[in-house]
Amino acid sequence: MKKKHLYTLLALIFTIALTSCSDKVIEDTNPERPRYKPSPTQVVDSFLKALKDENFEKAYDYSYVPNSDKDGYVIQMRNVFKENQITINSYNILGTQIYELSSSVIVELDSTLKSRTTGQLIHLKQKSKYTLGLFDKKWKVTGGDCVENCIEEVPEIEIAD
């Protein structure tokens, strides 16, 4: 009988110990890196939503474009989308990596655009990597590169000896 009381008492002490710690806030494990809002993931999401809606004025707000003003950016993007008949059908953010002053966001992009070689509209699902920089404590998209299933990739030609 004494063992049963001992186990009950130990279980009670363990439960009290757990509940006494449950309202404590766990400190950030990396306090030297501040967190800026919106996050890189949120910035890329908003940027791509603006491009999908062809709202280039809003897309500019999430971009770092040191060599153009807002009006020039909007005109350029409008022309690129029109000439290439680009339509972003959907996108899915797959992951984000944050470094000290930069970040990378990987996105699966589903789009329709005009083929450069045939002139026909093609449906394309690709993975792209967007890079971001920190400017005045705000994340901005600085560039994007296709990393998988890029449009009309030219296969390597093997030359036989």
pLDDT-wise least confident of 20-24, 67-71, 118-122, 145-149: 20-24
Report the pLDDT value the prediction gives residue 116, as an integer from 0 to 100.
Answer: 85
Q: What per-residue string of b and e applies to 71-108 under the rule 16 or more CB within 10 Å gives b? A: eebbeebeeebeeeeeebeebebeebebeeeebbbbbe
Report the pLDDT value the prediction gives residue 35, as an integer from 0 to 100.
Answer: 87
Q: Which residue has the higher pLDDT, 18 or 39?
A: 39
Question: In CATH, which of 3.10.450.50, 3.40.50.1000, 3.40.50.10470, 3.40.50.720 is domain 35-148?
Answer: 3.10.450.50
Q: What ranges make up the beta strands (E) of 11-52? A: none
**In the predicted model, what is the mean pLDDT of residues 117-133?**
95
Per-residue pLDDT tens digits for 36-84: 999 999 999 999 999 999 999 999 999 999 999 999 999 999 999 999 9
| pLDDT at 13 > cutoff 60 | no
At position 92, the amino acid (one-letter code) is N
- Using only the alpha carbons of the chain, give its radius of gyration: 25
Report the pLDDT value the prediction gives residue 122, as an integer from 0 to 100.
Answer: 94
Report the pLDDT value the prediction gives residue 154, as an integer from 0 to 100.
Answer: 45
Residue with tokens 């998209």: 141
Q: Where are the domains of the chain?
A: 35-148
36: exposed, middle or buried (Cβ count in 10 Å: 0-12, 13-18, 19+) = middle
